Structure 1
Amino acid sequence: MVDLSEYAPILLFLAVALGLSSLFVFLPMGVSRLTGTHNPDAEKLSEYECGFPAFEDSRSQFDVRFYLVAILFIIFDLEAAFLFPWAVSLEQIGWAGWITMMIFLFELVIGLIYAWKKGALDWE
C-alpha cells in the first residue's frame, strides 16, 4: 500500500489557494450586489478607453501583416535577450561561444532578409 500522507501539504496548499482565490473573486461581487453599487446605466456602459463609440465590430479580423510584424518583433526581441548574457559571459565561454553566437546571428540575419524580401515589413 502506498503512503499518501506526504502529499497532504500539497493538498492543503491547493485547498488554501483555491479558497483564497475564490474569496478574492466572489466576495467583491457579492458585496457589490448587497450594497447596491451594481447599478449599470447608459453612462456606466459607455466607452471610456478611447472616448468615442466603436465604428466597427470588435470581433473583426486583423490583417495578417499585423501578426507577422508582432512575430518578427518577438523574434528579434528574444535575440536581444540572448545577446546580453552572451556578452557578459564571453570571457568564460571563449571562441566556441563566440562562433556559436555568430552562427545564431547569421541565421537571424538570413531570416530578416527573407522576411524583408517577402514584404513582411512593408506597411501600407
Structure 2
Amino acid sequence: MKIMFLISTIFIIISNIFIILSLVISKKTNLDREKCSPFECGFDPKSLPRIPFSMHFFLITVIFLIFDVEIALIFPIIPTFSFTNMMIWFKTASFFIIMLLIGLYHEWNQKMLNWTY
C-alpha cells in the first residue's frame, strides 16, 4: 500500500513539474492579434459583415453535391448485375439514370449550369 502511494505521488509530482515547465518556456502570448480575432470561413472580419455572396456559386455547389451523391448511389448497381434478374436490374438502373438525366436537363433548362451570366 505504501509503495502504491509513493509511486502515485512521484507520478503526480513529475507530471506537475512538466506542466509548469511547459507553461514557463512556451512562446504563447495572450495578446496575439491573430489568435484573438474572429475567423469565419476565410472572410476578413474587419470588412463589412454582410458582403454579397454569389447565389449562383452556391447553387452550382448544391448541384454538384446532389449529382455526387447520386453517382455514389449508382455504384452498388454494378456488382448486383451478376446475381440478379436481368430485367429487374435493367429497369432499376434505367429508372435511376433517367431520373439523373431529367434532373440534369432541368438544371440545364433553368440555366443553372452556366458559369457566367
TM-score interval for Structure 1 and Structure 2 normalised by the shorter chain? 0.5 to 0.7
Within the candidate set 43, 61, 65, 1:70 is matched to 61
User: Residues 57 and 90 of structure 1: is their aligned pair in 2 closer, same or farther, counting only changes over 3 Å?
Assistant: farther
CA distance in 2 between counterparts of 1:86 and 1:64 reads 34
Change (3 A) 1:78 1:44: closer
User: Cα–Cα, structure 1 residues 43 and 80, in superposed 2: closer, same or farther, change >3 Å?
Assistant: closer
Aligned-CA RMSD value: 3.1
Question: Cα deviation per residue 1:74-94 (whole Å; 9 max; x = unaligned)?
Answer: 111112111211101112232
Residue of structure 2 aligned with 1:111, choices 81, 86, 103: 103
| Of 70, 83, 94, the match for 1:92 | 83
Equivalent residue for 2:5? none
Poorly superposed stretches of 4+, deviation over 4 Å: 43-46, 53-56
Give the number of equivalent residue pairs: 87
**1:3-25 CA-partner distances (Å, limit 9, x unpaired):** xxxxxxxxxxxxxxxxxxxxxxx
Extract unaligned runs of 5+ from structure 1: 1-30, 47-52
TM-score (norm. length: structure 2): 0.58
AA partner of residue 56 (structure 2): R
Aligned to 2:16: none
* CA drift at 1:61: 4.1
Equivalent residue in structure 2 for 1:121, among 108, 113, 116: 113
- Deviation string 1:43-101 (CA, Å, 9 cap, x unpaired) is 6568xxxxxx6785355342221221111111111121112111011122322122112
Unpaired stretches in structure 2, ≥5 consecutive residues = 1-18, 38-43
In the alignment, which residue of structure 2 is the partner of 1:83?
74
